Amino acid sequence: MKLAIFGLGRMGANMARRLSRGGITVVAHNRSREPIDELLRDEEHIVPAYDEADVFRELEGPRVIWLMLPAGEITSQAIKRLLPQMSPGDVLVDGGNSRYSETMAHAERVEAAGVHFLDCGTSGGVWGLKNGYSLMVGGTKAGFAHIEPAIRVLAPTPDSGWGHVGPAGSGHFTKMIHNGIEYGMMQAMAEGLAVLRKKSEFDLDLAQVTELWREGSVVQSWLLDLTADALKQEGQGLEAIQPHVADSGEGRWTAIEAIDLGVAAPVMTLALQMRFASQDDEGYGNRVLAMMRNAFGGHVVQRRDES
């Protein structure tokens, strides 16, 4: 099998590596040439494509073009640019984190041109190269049949960790909810460790505690494995880590979707709100709260110039 990957960031480049090591030839394209050159040095089944015209010269029909690009306008523009160059029967895969509603609109336009469109929710992060990726694919069964050999290589095993989950948009929708669940799991773990650390009289070793939870515990998980390893490497105080947690669009979209559907999702929503709180360097809302407590109850307000 031979396919093209557009976008060689952390996920795209490692997916190209895993495909190459599985015997699939990857036509590698990126806006800058350095990631392409790096793949050429490291892997065997890589064909460089320094411009888009190279991609179409290297691929024979039916072509498979797999986008690993940032969600939003960049992905939309790439689809608009590529579609006129594609032929009926070709396959266009969006493997990024596009919002499912945008994906459905993309699919309608692409399928109208006779090109198969698939949305592939992809989970695995930087560990996907070694462990494989969880792949949630939406789109037609006919389109999926074209890429199934690549899916089997990318997945943890040829028979696990992947699936054709439904029509166009369902792959990205499933991945969106996956990320919302991830937010909640991470928040619960972080809060539990914060409570453990606050109980200073016990002088708990959190690296030890998380390590012992890894075996036989109800909360054992890959997230716990990563947390235990980080606490050992960074020290349980984590003094070198800034308390600022970024959020991806998918956490926000999950909360909005739950509201629109009338589904109670307080854990995922609150986990997102806690990330917002960590990003608030100004702290204006908390200053307003302190002012109100002083106004109605005479509670002391700590001024910034007070030590």
| CA dihedral for 80, 86, 91, 95, sign (positive or negative) | negative
* 262 three-state secondary structure: coil
- For 147, half-sphere exposure in the C-beta direction (CA atoms, 13 angstrom radius) is 36
Q: SS3 sequence, 171-230?
A: HHHHHHHHHHHHHHHHHHHHHHHHHHHHCHHHCCCHHHHHHHHCCCCCCCCHHHHHHHHH
Query: Which residues does the annotation mark as catalytic?
Result: 175, 182
Q: Could you tell me which residues come within 8 angstroms of residue 89 by beta carbon, excluding any fewer than 6 positions away?
A: 61, 62, 114, 115, 116
- Tokens found for residue 88: 């009926």
Element (H, E) at 28: strand 25-29
| CA distances in angstroms from 266 to 108, 180, 181, 255, 274, listed in the order given | 33, 11, 11, 9, 12
Q: What are phi and psi of 26, to 5 degrees?
A: -115, 120
